[in-house]
Chains A and B, each alone.
Chain A
């Protein structure tokens, strides 16, 4: 290591990326710097490098996903890897042993990197224990989705120039959100002041232990916020089980122009997608100039390229 490391030369001693909680401040900054370079690369006519040339990347998705899966696929391809997508219907897979059987089968195909999304918290970690290659968590239940937190951090840094000291309000279904958990960990490590905002029924029990300030109404939650991160509310959670109705949820927790006024005038508007327009976010707010929702998607590819290249350093014969 040189005294002034290149973007690609920061210390990254991990074989897997399973949780945002595993990353140190320097590792995060290194990944973000590397992702900046990847973003530049992705804007060129020739977007391809040979960082992962000859490597096999399998995207194993037990849960349907459009943007995360295609983002990982594109990232792998731009780095020169052979990418294979496997979508496994959750209903066709029994739990426990079958998951491990799947892992052993895949292991026999000798992939170098396995990108996994699974509906059960901890499932990706279980796979990582049983498999020889590098594993990237692309979302496990309500637990973690570390590349989402990285892309959110990159988007914020590009727009605000920093993350430390910013007040970031994460609003919506915190209880079921791996995005929230990942962001609380990662943005917290970077020195942001975090708030989680939701009705009590959508907060995890003892929410104040997560490392973020808790608010149960948007006025308190958005006050002085530099960044507003809206979470998707799954429809089956709106129909009476956790909140009474779509209209009540939108009235009290949907981001509209009025509530936007409670945050700082230059507050960024973010959403991990896919959006429910009219449920958690008003259309005009989602499309406002301050909205960086589309930039988040672009940074998704860049961040995933950075993560794959960083993990590639630890692959055999690298």
Chain B
């Protein structure tokens, strides 16, 4: 152990007090001035009594009255590792996550090779442990090779650490297969996360079906493609009792289906993406491929329905749907360009638009990115509570800034929020009590480092790589 390492180790052992904060915990509804104490990577105390006074011997960080909230859990993150590391690695994605306040990434199985084998789950967990600065929980393939035909080794994959099961961006078209998947997953209490899009109805489509697509001369994907598959799935949930989560819903019709299913007491939940809550099909004009998403951006009416769905709790989860694509596959005619947008770093600032607009209560908004996914996935993170992991963010709700893709940490720059004005940003991010990101923080006691550190811009990534959490 070098002296610097010894020093770092010693520092990490000391309690850390975050004082003078606005404690915001969606799990308990807590919203009050106070402070929080971190020991051994976990929250050991919190409350108003810690607002001014840190225990003796503790390191102290003054939050200057900013929000102290649980770190975000992003339920849909694609990286390029393994197979497309030129787009994104677990390491680069994790640094984007840290900068965006995301302390847990749930990764997608549509890698190369596909995550349908225990050895691959093990690979991702080990790579994440060695290179990522935030927690990584891989989802495994629901069907072998994501081909939608058989049942993946759900029991063994779950035992290896797969947190949930999904067929990526492909729906399971065969109802009999889907029924068996839900039946089988139920025995292992495994969560099935499904992209709901009828492949035949959506075939050839590149954006939302409607007036805009017609004018642009582009083939559309109708809302019904989403709703038909969702309705089928809900009936299969009723038949089997399997736990089901619709990954990204985008229209009012789908939300009506979810409301009815929840009312019937079915084990059903759903998510949407930050893109579908803050953008619409008009943004696609004129053929902007960074807005080419799957499912597609819908109309403004649908977007408003999605926002209302988050506000009333119909939608449980907001994801970034982070999907890094390099310029080669994006700088193409719209029809030929790849789907997908990055989003880890802009998830929270974009979500805050909904808060600033007065559409959604702050606690409800944060719940969709913290405690709700935590409960669905069985994670102990996502809450401010004694004993919970110290995965935390310090958040300036009001700081204005403009998104500069060049400064984003992600290896791919396909953001739909290019040059977008944001209000609110993450100041510090802690994972298991260790600071992994600080905005404009400068060099704190030699803690800056890492194997792949890119020190572009004014931000610091601290402890990048090496001995991150898993």
Contact = CB atoms under 8 A, between A and B. Distances in A.
Interface in B151-171: 151-156
A245 B153 CA distance: 7
A248 B150 contact: no
Contacts of A245: 153
Nearest to B182: A200
Contacts of B154: 244, 248
Interface in B113-156: 143-144, 149-156
B153 A247 contact: yes
Contacts of B186: 200
A252 B155 CA distance: 8
Contacts of B152: 244
Interface string A232-262: 0000000111111101100110000000000
Interface string A67-101: 00000000000000000000000000000000000
Given A240-B144, A240-B149, A241-B150, A248 B183 contact: no
B240 interface: yes
B143 to A, nearest CB: 8
Nearest to A200: B183
Nearest to B149: A240
A239 to B, nearest CB: 7
Interface residues of A, number: 16
A240 B150 contact: yes
A247 B151 contact: no
Given A248-B156, A251-B156, A201 B184 contact: yes
A282 B440 CA distance: 61
A244 B153 CA distance: 5
Which of A216, A243, A244 is the most central at the interface, judged by chain B CB atoms within 10 Å of its CB? A244
B353 interface: no
Interface residues on B, range: 10 to 19
Contact of B151 (A216, A240, A251): A240
The majority secondary structure among interface residues of chain B is helix
A244 B187 contact: no
Contacts of B240: 200
A242 B187 CA distance: 13
B180 interface: yes
Contacts of A216: 187
A183 B151 CA distance: 29
A201 B155 CA distance: 13
A200 B155 contact: no
A251 B240 CA distance: 23
Contacts of B180: 201, 241-242
Interface string B177-193: 00010011011000000
Contacts of A241: 150-151, 180
Nearest to B156: A248
A111 interface: no
B144 to A, nearest CB: 6
A251 B154 CA distance: 12
Contacts of B187: 199-200, 216-217
B120 to A, nearest CB: 15
B237 to A, nearest CB: 13
Interface in B256-297: none
A252 B184 CA distance: 12
Contact of B184 (A217, A243, A247): A243
Interface in A270-294: none
Contacts of B150: 239-241, 244
A240 to B, nearest CB: 2
Given A241-B150, A248-B155, A199 B184 contact: yes
B169 to A, nearest CB: 21
A233 B143 CA distance: 21
Contacts of B155: 244, 248, 251-252
Which of A200, A216, A242, A251 is the most central at the interface, judged by chain B CB atoms within 10 Å of its CB? A200
A169 to B, nearest CB: 16
21 contacts: A199-B183, A199-B187, A200-B183, A201-B151, A216-B187, A217-B187, A240-B149, A240-B151, A241-B150, A241-B180, A242-B151, A242-B180, A243-B184, A244-B144, A244-B150, A244-B152, A244-B153, A244-B156, A247-B156, A248-B154, A251-B155
Interface of A: 199-201, 216-217, 239-245, 247-248, 251-252
Given A200-B183, A251-B156, 10 more contacts: A200-B184, A200-B186, A201-B183, A240-B144, A240-B150, A240-B151, A244-B150, A244-B151, A248-B156, A252-B155
Cβ-closest 5 pairs across A and B: A240-B150, A200-B183, A244-B153, A248-B153, A216-B187
